[in-house]
Amino acid sequence: MTIFNKTYIVLLSFLILLFSKSIYASYFPEMDLWTKASPENQNISSKKINRLLDLSFTDSATQAVVVIKDGKIISERYADGYNEYSYGTSWSMAKSYYAALIGISIDKGEINSLDDKVSMYLDYFNDERSSITLRDLLNMSSGLDFPSHEHEKMFFQTDHLEYAKSVGVEKNAGIKFEYNNVNSMLLGDILFQATGKKADKLLEERLLEPIGITNYRLWKDENGNVMTYCCVDMSARDYSKIGLLFARGGNWDGSQIISQEFIDETFQTVWQTPSRNGHKRYYSLHWWVSNYEEDSKIFNTSGKFGQFTFVDRENDIVITRISKYTQDDFGSTQKWGIMKYLKWAGVENAIKIGRALLEVGSIETGSDIITPFTDAEGESKEFYIKYQEIIEAIADLSRD
């Protein structure tokens, strides 16, 4: 290679870096300091924003909606008694966050590829599960045993990882989408074997801290296993930061936190999933795809009872909606107490009984039980009924 060519490459690399920094320099919040702008300043009609917010708040379970355009808050609304600092709990939105750690470990060379066999990292998969790959887990097509409760019963165990380890094979991998919580719980053990660190520490060091998220709870079970299939508590604004990171191709103010390649692979359609009220949805690498039309591609994280961060990266729009959440701060490690006797009950029954026991005072949070908890007030109904209308309202934000 000539000196000229070397000089040209260095100069080109410098210009690319300088250009990328100039693009992102003024569009990222610093810690808790967000820039606010009117919708019109970001070329969006306030009427369209208000329609989206009104649709979202027709459901009394809605705690917060935050709308981000070009990295700026153009609108946010909170239910009475809540504000921009109030925690929500992610439920299964957390799946998308812990999946990102797999991508980061690939970037760092700790994991070779999404097509690695899980058995390369988990020796207990050297059995009938030996053909399952990391991609199969992340695309929810592992073929692992799939009961009607989607392994939500795992949530009520004292040792979630031991539960996940015991789940056998039902069908061949890679042939069918089945939303299985065990797929996600296994990610923590894979990451630990690949890096020597638990998933909560990795999430702090590799994703949350680099983008300025400092207030959060990362839940573990009673045995100290990180619940990588659910349960990260933070504010709606901070959930939006993670959405913004993905909207920007994994880049945060010039620093590449997650590779563009991994983000691009995430933001595609792999499986068409069961529709929601007639609305087509897709799935890829622990993200949902709520709209995939020529003029609108909207991806989202999703959690039980109505937690969502929607990302329209072509138009640099991020929208978070969370439902009402009990704000008690008794730590982030589960404690079941007397509730452990419900661990093999049906999921819906366990939820109803737990709510009833709390309501009558037979058990108390913080002493008898510690766990992420959504009571009946935070369980979405109308939001799901209006889901397609809400998705269309989000898509409409970027249309003339």
Strand order in the sheet with 232-235: 87-89, 232-235, 217-218
* Phi and psi based region of residue 398 (left: phi greater than 0; alpha: psi -120 to 50; beta: remaining): alpha
β-pairing verdict for 287-293 and 279-284: antiparallel
Per-residue pLDDT at 1: 52
| Residue 110 neighbours by CB distance under 10 Å | 17
User: What is the amino acid identity at position 134?
Assistant: L
In eight-state DSSP terms, residue 64 is: E
More confident: 25 or 365: 365
Q: Domains along the chain?
A: 40-335+370-396 (3.40.710.10)
Per-residue pLDDT at 19: 43
Question: Residue 178 is encoded by which pair of tokens?
Answer: 């089945």
| Residue 106 neighbours by CB distance under 10 Å | 20
pLDDT in tens, 238-277: 999 999 999 999 999 999 999 999 999 999 999 999 877 7
Up-side HSE of residue 153: CA atoms within 13 Å toward CB?
A: 17
- In sequence order, the 6+-apart residues with CB closer than 8 A to the CB of 5 are none
Owner of token pair 């609305």 = 279
CB 64 within 8 A of CB 73: no
Return the C-alpha torsion angle 101, 106, 112, 114, nearest 10. 60
pLDDT in tens, 312-362: 999 999 999 999 998 778 899 999 887 776 666 666 777 777 788 777 888
pLDDT in tens, 97-140: 999 999 999 999 999 999 999 999 999 999 999 999 999 999 99
Consecutive H or E run containing 189: helix 181-195
Owner of token pair 């061949």 = 172
